[in-house]
């Protein structure tokens, strides 16, 4: 599903260059549930943004669903994002003036689905994350956990192949963290590839594979106990 070879990325800082990713090799197959760990500044978000086509890499190859990603224009990137990828962010990134239902329906609008169908599908996904009753509330009327579940519903609504989550539980307490992780596990069980950044060992342990980053390089890549259990 995702294949990365010798990926490099640096950010210009003034005249200097900050070399963030220094040759990443990573292969994630369809249906995997992978977490990335590493200290702050190790390049986790950078990697995820590149995988999510929100940013571009400098060197190396990136294949998404077998397609080489190179010199992508914004229009093509937008279409690929809409088709293959769903995002969950630490800070939720919901549109504040839209209701939960409208936020969830937004990706379908850009997919060209008509309004009636859009709202029906969105409602179905809100139901799935247990927030049907909150459909007509604005984001600022929801708790952090509820917002994140709305964001997950939005990530899922286009039936993407890969869900990318950057510290989805970073702003949540332990109970809501568990409910969000349960959701991600359910999604994975349905066959979706899930790729999560986290700082918390307990969270990482709930995935099937942990990739550890340090200073822009992968220092370890192992299956978790659940992962091993499944693999057997």
Partner 1 sequence: MFDLDRWREIFQSIGKNKLRSALSGFTVAFAILLFTLLFGMGNGLQNTFKNEFAKDAMNSIYIWSNYTTIAYKGNQIGRRVQFKNDDFTFLKETYGDKIQTISPKIQRSSEVVYKSEKDTYSVRGVYPDYYVLESAEMMDGRFLNFRDINEKNKVVVIGRMVEKDLFGQLSALGKQINIEGIIYQIIGVFSDPGGDSDERYIYTPFTTMQTMYGNNGYLDEFGITYNPDLSIDEAIAFGNKMLRELKEKHNVSPNDQRGIGLNNYATNNKEVSGIMGGLSILILVIGFGTLKAGVVGISNIMVYIVKERTKELGIRKAVGATPNAIVAMIIQEAVFITAISGYLGLIIGVGILELAGPSLEKYFILNPGVSQPVVIGATLTLIIAGLIAGYLPAKKAASIKPVVALNSD
Ligand X SMILES: Nc1ncnc2c1ncn2[C@@H]1O[C@H](COP(=O)(O)OP(=O)(O)OP(=O)(O)O)[C@@H](O)[C@H]1O
Q: Which partner, ligand X, Mg ion, partner 1, none, binds residue 41 by CB below 5 to 8 Å per kind?
A: ligand X
From the number of C-beta atoms within 10 Å of its C-beta (0-12, 13-18, 19+), residue 75 rates as: exposed
99 binds ligand X (CB under 6 A): no
The rounded distance, in Å, linking the Cα atoms of 114 and 156 is: 18
Give the residue with the Cβ less far from Mg ion, 38 or 160. Answer: 38
CB nearer Mg ion, residue 45 or residue 148? 45
Q: Pick the closer one to ligand X by CB: 39 or 143.
A: 39
Q: Is 46 in the site for ligand X (CB under 6 A)?
A: yes
- What residues line the site for partner 1 (CB under 8 A)? 49, 52, 54-56, 74-75, 78-79, 81-83, 87, 89, 93-95, 97-98, 102, 106-107, 109-111, 114-115, 154, 158
Q: Which is nearer to partner 1, 158 or 224 (CB)?
A: 158
How many C-beta atoms lie closer than 10 Å to residue 15's C-beta? 5
First-to-final CA distance of the chain: 22
Residues 94 and 150 sit within 8 Å (Cβ to Cβ): yes
Structure tokens at 83: 């088709």
| Interface contacts to Mg ion, rule CB under 5 A | 45
């Amino acid at each position: 599903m995702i294949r990365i070879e010798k990926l490099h990325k640096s950010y210009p800082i003034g005249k200097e260059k900050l070399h963030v990713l220094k040759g990443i090799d990573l292969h994630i197959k369809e249906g995997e549930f992978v977490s990335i760990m590493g200290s702050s500044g190790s390049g986790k978000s950078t990697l995820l943004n590149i995988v999510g086509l929100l940013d571009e890499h400098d060197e190396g190859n990136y294949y998404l669903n077998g397609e080489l990603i190179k010199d992508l224009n914004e229009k093509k990137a937008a279409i690929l994002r809409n088709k293959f990828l769903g995002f969950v962010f630490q800070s939720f990134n919901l549109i504040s003036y839209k209701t939960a239902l409208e936020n969830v329906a937004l990706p379908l609008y850009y997919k060209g689905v008509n309004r009636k169908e859009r709202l029906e599908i969105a409602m179905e996904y809100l139901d799935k994350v247990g927030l049907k009753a909150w459909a007509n509330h604005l984001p600022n009327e929801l708790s952090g956990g509820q917002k994140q579940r709305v964001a997950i519903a939005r990530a899922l609504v286009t039936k993407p192949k890969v869900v990318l989550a950057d510290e989805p539980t970073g702003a949540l307490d332990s109970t809501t963290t568990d409910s969000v992780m349960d959701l991600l596990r359910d999604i994975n069980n349905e066959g979706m590839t899930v790729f999560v950044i986290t700082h918390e060992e307990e969270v990482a342990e709930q995935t099937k594979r942990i990739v550890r980053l340090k200073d822009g390089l992968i220092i370890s890549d192992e299956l978790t106990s659940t992962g091993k259990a499944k693999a057997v």
